[in-house]
Structure 1
Amino acid sequence: MSRPKVLVIGGGFAGVECLHRLEHRLKPAEAELVLVTPTDYELYLPLLPHVAAGVLTPQSVAVSLRRRLRRTEVMPGIAIGVDTAARSVTVRNRTGDLRELSYDYLVLAAGSTTRTFDIPGLKEHAFGMKTLAQAAYLRDHVIEQLDLAAVATDPAEREARMRFVVVGGGYAGTETAACLQRLTAAAAARFPRLDPGLLSWHLVDVAPKLLPELGDRLGANAMATLRRRGIEFSLNTSVGAVTADSVTLTDGRVLPTRTLVWTAGVVASPLVGTLDAGTVRGRLTTTPELVVPGAPGVFAVGDAAAVPDLAVGGDAITPPTAQHSQRQGKAVAVNVEAQLRGTAMKPYRHRDLGLVVDLGGTDAVSRPLGISLSGLPAQVVARGYHVMALPTVTARTRVLVNWALNSVTGDDFVRTGFQQGRPATLQDFEHTDVYGAGVTRK
């Protein structure tokens, strides 16, 4: 008899944790394990700003799937459609060909993409911070702006190239602005013709406060720290239009710049829209057991799932954080095992352990277990948390060594040029245009 097939979509925190646990809990004869993912690594997303700033190498945050998953078949590609009635998934592989995969149990851990709005020029000119390629590209671009500013003969061009705008006052935006500001401040010293006083970093957010999830006190501490470094803030403000050389804000100001980094939140993967299933705020509705109602054999976890937050109660759903994704991946593995063996499933319940925001150097704000910290103690907690959250000893070692080397030797501010000449839009990096294309329903 053929083994039941457990098909997992997405090689992020939730998907990989699910398969890693299933490999340990199930005997090889009990199930066939298959993973569909566009990359052959699990990305530790919270440390992407460190990659963009050159503090960590890309390999440090890219954990090899074949190192973690020894029995799982890893299929390179993007799942672009799900037919729950036929129990099949349409996959577009790396060459563009389509393939139909059947399943007995499906775990949707497709993650999220950058949230955008209908702002003129945004999709054409904004840089993102959601993938490893985007972080590497952004680093090259930022250093290139300093190179070009150093030889510019037009003062207006030099000023525009040395102005950087980040949109989004959450974790990703704040950490990206903080880490890259440190990069440019240090790099400017290597350019004798550049006036460091012309460096300008601008953080824009529609919310009235920075990092509202951390509370007023820590948010204010973070703003004060970044202001001391020269970062400007425009809160209660958004972007009205973007061109190749300027950003127009909704308050009427026009900021000449060649760099707009867009980190204004995420939305569930477009794969969610191909299912005939209920959603909450664009995420798949699930039961506390992580099951998608009305879709036999289908589970959903991570950023693509609206999982009831039993620790909070009411209508609350778990936020799209790495912490919840990792733990939901472990929990869904237990419930898939229960389905295979005919035992009772368990509801997912986890109370957030706290939040950490690394502002670079010795600066950070953290709230572990409800305790507010800032400065060096917060940085120790933040980096300690990241090291422990990394899934392999190899990844932890690489990160620790990189941090140590950077603190002692600094950066050489080298542009790799690996992606020079390739399209750099959000859609090009995140492949948001392929979902549902070519999918047929039986």
Structure 2
Amino acid sequence: MRQDPNCSEFGKRWKSDSQQGRTLKSSELTFGSSVEVQGKLIQSPHKRQNVELAAENICVVGPCDVQAFPLKYKTHHPLDYLRQFPHVRCKTNSLGALLRLRSEATAAIHSFFKDNGYLHVHTPIITSNDCEGAGEIFQVEPANEEREPGENPHFFDVPAFLTVSGQLHLEVIAGAFSKVYTFGPTFRADNSQSRRHLAEFYMVEAELAFAESLQDIMQAMEDLFKKVTDAVLSSCPRDAELFHKHVAPGQEAKVERMLKNQFITMSYTEAIEILKRAHQEFIYKPEWGRDLQSEHERYLVQHCGEIPVFVFNYPYDLKPFYMRDNEDGAQHTVAAVDLLVPGVGELCGGSLREDRPDFLQSRLQRLGLEDTYQWYIDLRRFGSTPHGGFGMGFERYLRCILGVENIKDVIPFPRFSHSCIL
């Protein structure tokens, strides 16, 4: 139990410390100390609690060096200050609330998928696949292993990496169980110091067999977002209120608007036209065939009244090999969709998967990946079905519902380039 300096009866009497054979001094009961308290529960005059503990005996279990302790009494520490002290920041109200919210959101995500008939799968953290194909991967090899001359240089006989996505493994399982999902850590070697990126983060990923329309994928995304958010806000109202009042005033109304309104849909082509007509200058000029930048995503959400927006049917050349070719002539798009949300930008990404072996093989040949993904082509030859899926960044989701600006402040131990504290 942590000391509560606001308790009116705090520190009335001291309990003898039998292990040390001495009586505790009042100077030992400092801010940050761990204590055991015995007393009586009495009616509290404070508005936000019914009872309080009138202390009769107090024992300091773990004293705190208050001079060195980085948290100060009755001080509101900015989140970027707390980030320097990952070993103690969980003792603050803000990080305590965040961890309870993370826990509740995790439970709500699992409940959503269980209630909707999904099988939970533990996909591997170490993999030989680079699902996204962007090359932002961490390679895995033993730190100090000597190899004999001529011996295979790789521990696994092939290059192995920390996973960037569990999608390809989910596709394997979806061929047998129809609806599957995974929820675990993923890694990107993204040399970025931005507020939107981490080197280690958590992803929620789902795969649906017999999905023949992007609407199926979009509906699953919207249902997940709304039902999980409802559950989190209902279970942790005070913790959410802390962020909505003291970290991001006005965020509560934004979240309510997202929950009450149906998400908007527009094609990538429509999005580019909206951006071209915008009465503002962008750092990156919007052009058909170029990827949307974060400034474009923010504008599109604002344009739609701060309601989440699905942007679908992206150019073929912008997306990974596994997305389904729309066969739409000169435009040449794929059945891909991104969910853009206020304050964050892209929250979810999904697509229909290319289930036609000839289309898939042709694309992999052009990319020089046919040998690497022969097993993936085999899936299309061995009883495949139309299918699709999506992924949602868990930390981006928390940023969205809480209004936290920096993604490093919604995870207990943030890892990013040039920083791996603790």
- Sort the TM-score into its range (normalised by shorter chain): under 0.3
Instruction: Compare CA radii of gyration and give the structure with the larger one.
Output: 2
Q: Which has the higher contact order (CA 8 A, sep 6+)?
A: 1
TM-score (norm 2): 0.25
TM-score (norm 1): 0.24
